[in-house]
Structure 1
Amino acid sequence: MEPAMPVVPLPLAVVTVDPDGRVLTFSHSAEQLLGFAQADVVGESLGELIVPARLRDGADDPLRELFDCCAGEEGQGHCVQPVRRADGSDFPADVLITPLPDLGYVVVVSALPPKSDERRQSEWFHRALVGRSPVVTMVYDPDGSWRWSSPAAVRLHGPGAPTADVAASIVHPDDLILIRKLFVAALNAPLPGGGSLTSAANAETVEIRLRPPGTNGKEWRVYALTVQNLIDEPAVEGIAIYAIDVTRAVDAERREQLHSARIDTLIESLRVGILVEDSDRRAVLANDALARILGSPVSAQRLVGQNTSELLPPAEIFADPIALRAETLRLLAQGKPATGSEFALTDGRVIVRDYAPIHADGVAVGHLWVVRDVTDQVTIRRGLEERNRALAEVATLKTEFVAAASHELRTPLTSIATFSQMLAEEPDAAADQRQIALEAIARNANRTLRIVDDLLTLAGLEGKTLPLALRAVHLPDVVSEAVDGFADSALRAGVTVELVGNATGPMLRVDPARLRQAVEALLNIVATAHAGTRIDVRVTFAAAQWNVRVGSPSALAAGDHLFTTGDRGAGNALSFLIARAIVSRHGGQLATPRTGQTDAFAISLPVRPHLPDGDG
């Protein structure tokens, strides 16, 4: 323990001066401190006596500013400055001036403590801090000789110099070489202007393992160690080693890393896309499945730290980016979990997006988005919906077909039966009446045969027992031939046909005769429903399929039927079913118009390299 320093009283000078700053009284302590005799200074200017010449700046009375301060708000003048002795030397002093009413001023000059005492007090200050510091500090001479250890270091290696055996007992064997390398590197570290490293700014900090006393040689603690060259520091002139126990921080970091690794592994193993954003919509976490599901080339690593809309532009990924943005803003404003938002992608796939806000201490700190590819499920669902729609449509059509077919069969059969009965009951009827009856019987018999043929054709098409004569054709040519073949029927129905069929596209393998039959059937149906108007026929190619639309610009009125059972529409239902079966056998679809709309019959035929087995 450092011995207590003796308290040495410091001299104090008291001088009174008149309002002009001239000495009135000069105390004995003033004589001792300043070296002037009272008899020599009475009546002299105190400022000229005690203020060094270098500080006067040409002023008549160097203390006048302090005297003037006494008349201010402070009521006194005060400064710390060098004070001159009679022998010409000076010393740091505290000068205090207070006024004497109607007499002048009292000037008190007190010497400040010597610099050596200040330095000693500074040493005690730093020693007290070091003694209580947890930082292990050791100082070595450049030749590697130990010089000093802080109390924390002594508690680690014990009293006295840390020998090689002591170092080997507390330092992990794998870290001894590292410490030696750092010592040599610090000793030889060059500076731009020459010399060695004298600042910790460039010193490297590494983690080493130390074994403090009392751990029974089992527990290794982790210390952050820095070796610094302080040879150029006069107060040190050596190599300083600093180390602080960071075991808890390292353990916490490792636990956090392990936890993060588990979370990352879990997220990467998911088959759904995960995106976590902070409150500013910057990506914090993402997995590779996200890019794969969205069809984006941007990896999860590139996405982290960036604004997602910049690296995943919605207009390039989503078929309807406006709807996506509106839904996103709604979810963010709502701030509640939501699931099941479906969005179509530009590549035709469909995803479902779920959202959940992330809260910490009741405050929203981020957003979680989960993306799933549901293309297969949507395809199945839409297929079922289309199948149900088709079944409902077929049920409706078959109801009308049964009525129409019954009417068509009943009419000719009734005629045949009536005229046959007439011939049987009136064998002596006139020859011309007999001829009319026979012609009616023959005409209605032929009509019945055509209906039976159509029924057999429909059964063959639906049962795939009727073969197709397939060959590669240009679809607009086939449709044009069908329009030409319908010319006579159009003239009788009082309609005009406008064909737009100069579209370009690949060849299509179809049965041209059957496909012409389907188009002509649709033309007949439209002509009976919109007699006296124009029929538009348009052929286009898009999205790997040919499309044929047949319809009238005028809407179908409510209550009207395309497949009416009237005489003018007789056979329409059966004709449509045949047309539908022909299109279906070619792998396509036929959609019907809806009441109150101008939608036309729509044939869609995908371009395929081959049709199912059995067609040929």
Structure 2
Amino acid sequence: MEPATPVPTIPLAAVTVDADGRVLTFPRSAELLLGHARSEVLGRTLGELIVPARLRDGTDDPLGPLYDACAGPDGEGHRELPARHADGSEIPADLLVTPLNGGGYTVVVAALAPRADVRRQSEWFHRALVGRSPVVMLVFDPDGRWRWSSPAAVRLIGPGAPSTEAAASIVHPEDFGTIRTLFAAAVDAPLPGGGRLSGAEPETVEVRLRGPNGTDWRCYALTIQNLVDEPAVEGIVIYAIDVTRAVDAERREQLHSARIDTLIGSLRVGILVEDPDRRAVMANTALPRVIGSPVPAERLIGEHTAELLPPAELFADPAALREETLRFLEQGRPASGTEFTLTNGRVIARDYAPIHFDGAVAGHLWVVRDVTDQATIRRGLEERNRVLAEVATLKTEFVAAASHELRTPLTSIATFSQMLAEEPEAPGDQRQIALEAIARNANRTLRIVDDLLTLAGLEGGTLPLVLRGVHLPDVVGEAVDAFAEHSEVTVDLAGNATGPMLRVDPARFRQAVEALLTIVATAHAGTRIDVRVTFAAAHWTVRVGSPSALAAGDHLFTTGDRGAGNALSFLIARAIVSRHGGQLATPRGGQTDAFAISLPVRPHLPEADA
């Protein structure tokens, strides 16, 4: 065999050949590596040029098997063999053959270092790695005798065999038992072919060791592995890596997460964090309580929230909720939501904030607040303001009507009294007319005062109610009959006669219904009045109205012959209904809507009225 030539400066060359293995291209790197001139090898078979004669099998092209291997599953041929140099020497080489798309092959010839050099370089390579590695490594015989320490181990516990005193100075007393247990388990591991001492999967634990300068305890990830069956080791190896920074960072992160979890968990508002696919990654315990869901927060994690929190089951208007949700997600910026009513009657408000990371939306944050009390207070204030505005209007009209009603009889009384005083000798028939006018207007004034006192007693709660169980349609029917006796207006009474008994003051309630009938009859002179009595949703409803709307310029509360007119009558009717725990709605001007009395089946009445 020809002697091996030294490894050339150019250790790699790529040669292309046709389908028959004849050289098509022979670059400069190939000339330097193999010693042939390009002009001498073009068209010749590459195998005849580089494969030593002793390795040829008599075929036309000794590289034929590598070309054939390209048709296999790997799509390439590979082989290590000595490559023949032009001067007759041999170069340890690695040949890699890959096919070309248009036919032919590319043959990469890579020079290999002699095996002795490879082994030497491998030793240097691993020695350099271990010498600069921060990993603490100790090698022991199975019987516990020390054999070798890595440079990092020497820096930690000193050179030579680690003594018991040295180990005691760097190992935390509470971790000695853990290390002994791991070492014993590694020694007692079974061999693959039977017996003991094998490379079983090692366990990694955290132990505390003192730093090289005797500083505070540091955390190391320690692994003990049985490498007795490895010829290059034949021992028990202890690996230790300083993970103090990683452990401290993890603990800081855990502490931060615990603080965040505690903060979110203590909030009374519902918190929901979703990933970009709308799957829940965090939910506090308040969330199900706020939205009235029986699904606990922990069950939401990892699930699409719409599946476990279906809007159609929780929200009175799920379509509006979906529309707002899509709008928030499309806008991609923080927003405060509107109020939504739940199916259980409570009211919530929902806020949204996208979670951004690296310039993209990494999730969604939803904050849900129970605003039932605020909504109730606000709606109560709105209703109170509406009522106050209505009462102010009515009282203005009442003052005008009462002033007119009082002025008329008082003027008559003053006029006739003055006449009697100035004409004491007036004829008897004239004096009689004057006295009757004075009496009639005095009585009218007294009735107005009585109505004012009644209103004051009803609004102030000083006028007691005499309650008893009645069938409301019967009481309304009595009021309609009483009204029909002194009115020529047709009253149409209808409605369902079924419903529970209701505790009311029949006389006062009839008074309220008659007052509404009088107001409608006065405002819609000469028309029919419709009265409807119905029961639904635990409420009795009495509607009193006219089929025709008010004419232009007409007014609902005009003065009449009884009391201080319709304004005073309405205020009295309203006070009676309110004392019974109900509500009286007025018709809207210019429309056919009727007065509507709404009474709950069990009104909350003061004890004095019970």
Counterpart of 2:400 (choices 403, 407, 413) is 403
Counterpart of 1:496 (choices 492, 500, 519) is 492
Is residue 152 from structure 1 mapped to residue 146 from structure 2 by the alignment? Answer: no
- Report if the CA contact (8 A) 1:525-1:562 is conserved: yes
2:54 aligns with 50
2:44 aligns with none
Segment drifting more, 532-541 vs 155-164? 532-541
Letter in 2 for 1:211: R
- Report if the CA contact (8 A) 2:80-2:92 is conserved: yes
Q: Aligned equivalents of 1:390 and 1:273: distance in 2?
A: 35
- Report if the CA contact (8 A) 2:582-2:603 is conserved: no
2:17 aligns with none
Letter in 2 for 1:372: R
Q: Aligned equivalents of 1:405 and 1:111: distance in 2?
A: 122
Is residue 209 from structure 1 mapped to residue 208 from structure 2 by the alignment? Answer: yes
Structure 2-normalised TM-score? 0.74
2:168 aligns with 168
Matches of residues 506-521 of structure 1 in structure 2 within 5 Å? 507-521=501-515
Pick closer, same or farther for the CA change 1:556–1:119 going to 2, 3 Å: farther
- Give the drift of 1:474: 4.5
- Give the drift of 1:527: 3.6
- Report if the CA contact (8 A) 1:48-1:61 is conserved: no
Matches of residues 5-24 of structure 1 in structure 2 within 5 Å? 10=4
> SS where residue 347 of structure 1 aligns?
coil
> SS where residue 343 of structure 1 aligns?
strand
- Give the drift of 1:606: 3.8
Q: CA RMSD in A?
A: 4.5
Letter in 1 for 2:532: V
- Give the drift of 1:170: 1.2
- Report if the CA contact (8 A) 1:208-1:225 is conserved: yes
1:560 aligns with 554
Q: Aligned equivalents of 2:480 and 2:442: distance in 1?
A: 29
- Report if the CA contact (8 A) 1:197-1:228 is conserved: no
Letter in 2 for 1:151: P
Q: Aligned equivalents of 1:303 and 1:337: distance in 2?
A: 23
- Report if the CA contact (8 A) 1:493-1:528 is conserved: no
Q: Aligned equivalents of 2:134 and 2:540: distance in 1?
A: 83
Structure 1-normalised TM-score? 0.73
Matches of residues 440-519 of structure 1 in structure 2 within 5 Å? 447-488=444-485, 492-502=488-498, 504=499, 507-519=501-513
- Give the drift of 1:448: 4.8
Q: Aligned equivalents of 2:66 and 2:291: distance in 1?
A: 84
2:87 aligns with none
Counterpart of 1:585 (choices 569, 579, 586) is 579
- Report if the CA contact (8 A) 1:47-1:62 is conserved: no
- Report if the CA contact (8 A) 2:477-2:493 is conserved: no
- Give the drift of 1:174: 0.8
- Give the drift of 1:172: 0.9
- Give the drift of 1:388: 2.1
Pick closer, same or farther for the CA change 1:66–1:284 going to 2, 3 Å: closer
- Report if the CA contact (8 A) 1:317-1:346 is conserved: yes
- Give the drift of 1:397: 0.9
Pick closer, same or farther for the CA change 1:184–1:515 going to 2, 3 Å: farther
Counterpart of 1:369 (choices 352, 366, 369) is 366
- Give the drift of 1:409: 4.4
Letter in 2 for 1:517: Q
Q: Aligned equivalents of 1:211 and 1:599: distance in 2?
A: 90
Is residue 574 from structure 1 mapped to residue 568 from structure 2 by the alignment? Answer: yes
- Report if the CA contact (8 A) 1:10-1:111 is conserved: no
- Report if the CA contact (8 A) 1:528-1:568 is conserved: no
Pick closer, same or farther for the CA change 1:273–1:110 going to 2, 3 Å: closer
- Report if the CA contact (8 A) 2:410-2:442 is conserved: yes
- Report if the CA contact (8 A) 1:415-1:441 is conserved: yes
Q: Aligned equivalents of 2:550 and 2:192: distance in 1?
A: 92
Matches of residues 234-383 of structure 1 in structure 2 within 5 Å? 234-339=231-336, 341-360=338-357, 363-383=360-380
Pick closer, same or farther for the CA change 1:453–1:343 going to 2, 3 Å: same
- Report if the CA contact (8 A) 1:81-1:92 is conserved: no
> SS where residue 467 of structure 1 aligns?
coil
- Give the drift of 1:562: 1.8
- Give the drift of 1:461: 1.2
- Give the drift of 1:592: 1.0
Segment drifting more, 320-329 vs 247-256? 320-329
Pick closer, same or farther for the CA change 1:213–1:81 going to 2, 3 Å: closer
> SS where residue 292 of structure 1 aligns?
helix
2:32 aligns with none
Q: Aligned equivalents of 2:401 and 2:119: distance in 1?
A: 120
Q: Percent identity?
A: 72
Is residue 612 from structure 1 mapped to residue 606 from structure 2 by the alignment? Answer: yes
Tell me the alpha carbon deviations over residues 25-48 of structure 1, each in whole angstroms, 9 at most, x when there is no partner.
xxxxxxxxxxxxxxxxxxxxx999
Pick closer, same or farther for the CA change 1:64–1:263 going to 2, 3 Å: closer
- Give the drift of 1:130: 2.3
> SS where residue 252 of structure 1 aligns?
helix
Q: Aligned equivalents of 1:459 and 1:567: distance in 2?
A: 21
- Give the drift of 1:127: 2.9
Pick closer, same or farther for the CA change 1:557–1:358 going to 2, 3 Å: farther
- Give the drift of 1:454: 2.6
1:126 aligns with 126
- Report if the CA contact (8 A) 1:11-1:110 is conserved: no
- Report if the CA contact (8 A) 1:538-1:550 is conserved: no
Tell me the alpha carbon deviations over residues 92-128 of structure 1, each in whole angstroms, 9 at most, x when there is no partner.
96599xxxxxxxxxxxx99977766644543333333
Counterpart of 1:549 (choices 543, 547, 569) is 543
Aligned residues: 539
Letter in 2 for 1:136: V
Matches of residues 21-32 of structure 1 in structure 2 within 5 Å? none
Letter in 2 for 1:511: D
- Give the drift of 1:459: 2.3
> SS where residue 488 of structure 2 aligns?
helix
Pick closer, same or farther for the CA change 1:479–1:182 going to 2, 3 Å: farther
- Give the drift of 1:178: 0.9
Q: Aligned equivalents of 2:202 and 2:505: distance in 1?
A: 85
- Report if the CA contact (8 A) 1:498-1:534 is conserved: no
1:180 aligns with 180
- Report if the CA contact (8 A) 2:66-2:78 is conserved: no
- Give the drift of 1:493: 0.8
Pick closer, same or farther for the CA change 1:67–1:80 going to 2, 3 Å: closer
Tell me the alpha carbon deviations over residues 394-424 of structure 1, each in whole angstroms, 9 at most, x when there is no partner.
1211222233334444556667778896998
> SS where residue 392 of structure 1 aligns?
helix
> SS where residue 203 of structure 1 aligns?
coil
Which 5+ residue runs of structure 1 have no aligned equivalent? 1-7, 13-18, 22-45, 70-77, 84-90, 97-108
Pick closer, same or farther for the CA change 1:296–1:439 going to 2, 3 Å: same
Counterpart of 2:534 (choices 522, 539, 549) is 539
> SS where residue 587 of structure 1 aligns?
coil
- Report if the CA contact (8 A) 1:525-1:572 is conserved: yes
Segment drifting more, 391-400 vs 511-520? 511-520
> SS where residue 608 of structure 2 aligns?
coil
Which 5+ residue runs of structure 2 have no aligned equivalent? 7-19, 23-49, 69-76, 83-89, 96-108
Q: Aligned equivalents of 2:167 and 2:432: distance in 1?
A: 134
Q: Aligned equivalents of 1:120 and 1:277: distance in 2?
A: 57
Q: Aligned equivalents of 1:329 and 1:475: distance in 2?
A: 50
